[in-house]
Amino acid sequence: MRAVAQAADLDQHSVIGREFGNVVIVKELGRGSMGGVYIGYQKSLKRQVAVKLLPRHSGDSGRSQRQFRDEAETVAVLSHPYIVPIFEMGEDHDYFFQVMQLISGADLGCMIRNRLKHPVASRRLLPPARIIDILVKVLEGLGYAHREGVVHQDIKPANIMIDESAHRPLIVDFGIAKTARMEFWGQGLVVGSVLYLSPEQAAAQETDRRSDIYAMGMVLFEALAGNLPLRQDEDEKRILLRKIKRPETLFTLAPGECSPNIDEAMEKIILKALSPRREERFTSCEAFRSALMHWKPPVTQ
């Protein structure tokens, strides 16, 4: 659903040992929608960093390059402990590159999935207190971005990294963020990850902070329940159409029916964040954050 570079254009063997700025590429971490991500060694400060590479010839008329630059310029103006910092951006004859903090840990999506594999059924969900601690901090960082005029537009568990060394979450991937200074170049296109899109974003309408709040509601629901109650026969296209035409029918079960972690008070919080009508959602990340901080987990926990 999102205009992306062709990650296949990257030749991992050709970039290992290559220098970008004063960073030497050491090892590939993975491929994504915006090129490849590598571990690099920053010679000037003698530390490991993450390096994102995008081939100059990505086959999409320069749109991915512009998006890549927009991400770096957006994050560069954001300084917050729960937003991953970008240290440097540049280019050479073959690639555009970003140098950023290397995060030692997993993303929230991996944490949710790994927990579901626990051999003891009663321990297949993350502890509610842990989830709330993570998401309260994410909402703090996201609220800061909103005050700076930035709407992320792609909030999902995979874009919430948990830094094990510092014990804190970090919001990553501002690749399709919209700013007050320069809105996303692809207006009229559906951008983002289908499952977490707000109804207005699914319909390619104007987005604002409440679109991110919807996505955070989806993350909260998924983290507490382990899985979202969706129709098994619906692919992304059908989910997208349902969000546009009948968003109130997205789930097959109410939140409280999905997990003992979700009591009546938490169900109200989730449903408020996920209201199909944006004016009925939390008005800000601060209001959402306050509701979570005042919530008490069920006694059974």
Annotated active-site positions, please? 154
Give the chain's largest Cα–Cα span.
60
C-alpha torsion angle, residues 278, 226, 108, 64 (rounded to 10)? -60
What backbone torsions phi and psi does residue 73 show, to the nearest 5 degrees? -70, -35
Dist. CA 15–CA 39, nearest whole Å: 11
Of residues 102, 14, 3, the one with CA closest to residue 51:
102
Torsion of CA 14, 17, 20, 22, to 10 degrees: -170
- Asked if 192 contacts 153 with a C-beta cutoff of 8 angstroms, the reply is yes
Asked whether the beta carbons of 301 and 272 are under 8 A apart, the reply is no
Residue pointed to by tokens 């960093």:
49
Distance of alpha carbon 6 from its chain centroid, rounded?
Answer: 20
